[in-house]
Amino acid sequence: MTDTLPLAALGWAPDFLRQLTLDDLSTLTPCRVAAVHRSRIEALAATGPLSLLPPPGLSTAEIAVGDWALCDGTRLIRLLERRSTLARRAAGTGAERQLIAANVDTLFLVTSCNADFNPARIERYLALARSAEVTPVIVLTKADESPDPEAWQARAEAIDRRVAVVTLDARAPGERLADWARAGQTVALLGSSGVGKTTLANALTGEVQATAPIRADDAKGRHTTTGRHLRPLSAGGWLIDTPGMRELRLSGAEAGIAATFDDLDALAGECRFHDCTHQTEPGCAVQAAIAAGAVDPARLARWQKLRREDRINSETLAEAHARDRAFGRLTRKAGRDKARLRGE
Ligand SMILES: Nc1nc2c(ncn2[C@@H]2O[C@H](COP(=O)(O)OP(=O)(O)OP(=O)(O)O)[C@@H](O)[C@H]2O)c(=O)[nH]1
Ligand SMILES: [Zn+2]
ipTM for the predicted complex? 0.96
Measured between alpha carbons, how far is 153 from 75 in angstroms, rounded to an integer?
48
Backbone φ and ψ for 181, nearest 5 degrees, come out as -115, 10
CA of 199 relative to ligand 1 center, distance in Å: 5
Which ligand approaches the C-alpha of residue 278 most closely?
Answer: 2
**CB 294, CB 232: distance < 8 Å:** no
Backbone φ and ψ for 268, nearest 5 degrees, come out as -60, -30
CA of 159 relative to ligand 2 center, distance in Å: 22
Each residue's pLDDT expressed in tens, for the chain with a length of 344 residues: 444 458 889 999 899 999 999 999 899 999 999 999 988 999 999 989 999 999 988 888 899 999 999 999 899 999 999 999 998 876 655 556 788 899 999 999 999 999 999 999 999 999 999 999 999 999 999 999 999 999 999 999 999 999 999 999 999 999 999 999 999 999 999 999 999 999 999 999 987 765 433 343 443 333 333 446 999 999 999 999 887 676 677 878 899 999 999 999 999 999 999 999 999 999 999 999 999 999 999 999 999 999 998 888 877 656 656 756 665 665 566 666 666 655 55
Which ligand approaches the C-alpha of residue 201 most closely?
Answer: 1
**CB 97, CB 321: distance < 8 Å:** no
Report whether residue 160 contacts ligand 1, using a CB cutoff of 6 Å. no
Report whether residue 52 contacts ligand 1, using a CB cutoff of 6 Å. no
Report whether residue 272 contacts ligand 1, using a CB cutoff of 6 Å. no
**CB 230, CB 35: distance < 8 Å:** yes
Report whether residue 195 contacts ligand 1, using a CB cutoff of 6 Å. yes
CA of 245 relative to ligand 1 center, distance in Å: 16
Q: Which atom of ligand 1 is nearest to the CA of 170?
A: 31
Q: Which residue of 112, 176, 199, 205 sits with most ligand 1 atoms within 8 Å of its CB, as the best mutation to test the pocket?
A: 199
Which ligand approaches the C-alpha of residue 266 most closely?
Answer: 2
Q: Which atom of ligand 1 is nearest to the CA of 169?
A: 31
Domains of the chain: 4-81 (2.30.30.140), 102-240 (3.40.50.300), 254-339 (1.10.40.50)
Report whether residue 193 contacts ligand 1, using a CB cutoff of 6 Å. yes
Q: Tell me the Cα Rg of the chain.
A: 23
